[in-house]
Amino acid sequence: MKMSIMTSAAFGVLLLICGAAFAADTAGFWQYPAIPGYGPVHVWPGATDKPSTASTYKALFDLTQKGRGFDTLNPGLDHIARAVNTFAAAGVPLSHLKFTVIIHGPATPIALNERAFEAKFHRPNPNLKVIEALRKAGVEVLVCGNALGDMHFNPSEVNPDIQVALSALSTLVIQQNQGYALMRM
C-alpha cells in the first residue's frame, strides 16, 4: 500500500514537471499576427513556398459549413483567420490581402447580430468577435441574401460587420471572374 501511494505521488510529480516543460516549450510557438486569439500559425524556419511580400493575394472563402453547432465558433471562420495570420506572419501587409468571405447555406445563422441570434438560438453568437477581427484586418464579409430569405431571416437581423450580397451564386461568379482563388469552407 505504501509503495502504491509513493508510486502515485512520484507519477503525479512527474506529470507536473512534464506539463510545465510542455507549457514552456509551446509558449510563443503559436502566433496571431493579425487576428488576435483566432487562427493560430507557426512559421517553421526554412519553410518553403512562402508568399511574396510585394504581391497582392485574392481569395474568396465560400463558407457553407455549420460546424459543430451554433454554440461554438464556426471552424471555417477560424480557418479564415488562420489564412490571414499565415500571410501576415510571412510579412505580407494586410493591404495586400484581398480576402472575401461569402456565408450561405447551413452557415447562414452565424451572420446574425447578437440580438437576433439570441432570440433564435437562446445563446450568444460565438462568432461575433472573430468576424469583427476579420473586418478590422480588411476581410470583406458577406452573407447571401437568398440564404437569409430561405431561412426567414431579415437583413435588419444581420451583424453590422457583414454586408448582404445579392446571392452567393453571383458573388462566387463575379469574384472568380475577377481572379479570386476559391476556397471552400
What is the pTM for the complete model shown? 0.85
Residue 8's CB is within 10 A of a number of other CB atoms, namely 10
At residue 27, the pLDDT reads 65
- Alpha helix segments (H runs only) across 33-74: none
Q: Does domain 57-184 have CATH number 3.40.1260.10?
A: yes
Nearest alpha-carbon partner for 121 in 142, 146, 151: 151
User: What are the domain boundaries of the chain?
Assistant: 1-29, 57-184
> Which is more confident, 91 or 1?
91
At residue 169, the pLDDT reads 98
CA distances from 169 to 60, 104, 114, 143 (A): 12, 10, 26, 11
- Alpha helix segments (H runs only) across the chain: 2-26, 75-89, 114-121, 128-136, 145-150, 168-177
pLDDT above 90 (res 24): no
Angle between helix axes 75-89 and 128-136 (nearest 10 degrees) is 30
Contacts of 117 (CB under 8 A, 6+ apart): 70, 109, 123, 124, 125
Terminus-to-terminus CA distance in the chain, angstroms? 55
Grid cell digits, residue 107:
452557415
pLDDT above 90 (res 90): yes
pLDDT above 50 (res 7): no
Chain centroid offset of residue 160 CA = 18
